[in-house]
Copies of this chain bind each other. A is one copy, B any other.
Amino acid sequence: MTHFHEPTDCQSCNQRFTSVFCKAKQQFIAEINEQKVCNVYKKGQTIFNEGSHPFGVYCINEGKVKLSHLGDDGKEQIIRLLRGGDVLGYRALLSGERYSASAIVLEDTQVCFIPKELFISILKNDAGLAFEMMKLLSDELHKAEVKLTHLAQKPIRERLAETLLFIKETYGYESDGVTLNVRLSREEIANLVGTATESTIRLLSEFKKGGMVELEGKKIKILRQKELIRTANLQD
């Protein structure tokens, strides 16, 4: 079980330079500081559930979270991977709907909760923060559109390679410089790629045979990044 220091206030939070909220005016940061509620979730726990009403936004202090939709036939689709400094739950809040995805913790994670009213009122009074939120939304939209195009046009082999690179971008390597710094099941990787679990397992084995990756249980080591990039066939 991971041990966390509860941050006494937002000024000393280890995400104070990373999160969008650092762009808020000082007075508002103070308000957040007063009203925020900090919480620790253990691996596998749910921060919020698809279909329920949002009461605020969550800011990840430390940890890893997956955001996933349930498809019409009940199959999970992982929409986003989140880390320290990321904000979640704002999408539903802004469009005034229920959550369209569930947030599930991938490893012990500390999260600050900011109540809806405060979040909205700050957004309405702090144009700078509002602008940053728009940027953030724009970036997410862009990523979603690119992913959508790849999902429609690229074979699974390329998408798996791309997904491994994406995981590396998001969570980086462990101190050894090659092991992806997150433990995902093969099924989760499949739900990120958008394919059947068996296909993912099979292709990972192939990647391993080709010497691109090394597999040790849930540990994945990227041995030849360049070859992986080539396999992903990315133009951008």
Contact = CB atoms under 8 A, between A and B. Distances in A.
A157 to B, nearest CB: 14
A141 B91 contact: yes
A202 to B, nearest CB: 18
Interface string A48-80: 000000000000000000000101110101010
B135 A95 contact: yes
Looking at chain A's contact residues, the main secondary structure is: helix
Contact of A194 (B97, B125, B127, B151): B151
A235 interface: yes
Contacts of A96: 135
A148 B144 contact: yes
A145 B71 CA distance: 11
A123 interface: yes
A69 B146 CA distance: 8
Q: Which of A133, A134, A149 counts the most chain B CB atoms within 10 A?
A: A149
Contacts of A151: 148, 151-152, 194
A19 to B, nearest CB: 17
Interface string A140-158: 1110111111111110000
A77 B130 contact: no
A215 interface: no
A138 interface: yes
Contacts of A150: 71-72
A201 interface: no
A87 to B, nearest CB: 13
Contacts of A97: 142
A5 interface: no
Contacts of A195: 152
A91 B153 contact: no
Given A100-B146, A134-B134, A152-B194, 11 more contacts: A71-B149, A71-B150, A72-B235, A77-B149, A97-B142, A100-B145, A123-B130, A123-B131, A127-B127, A133-B134, A144-B144
The 4 lowest CB-CB distance pairs between A and B, nearest first, are: A152-B194, A144-B144, A137-B137, A95-B138
Interface of A: 69, 71-73, 75, 77, 79, 90-92, 94-97, 100-101, 123-125, 127-128, 130-131, 133-135, 137-142, 144-154, 194-195, 233-236
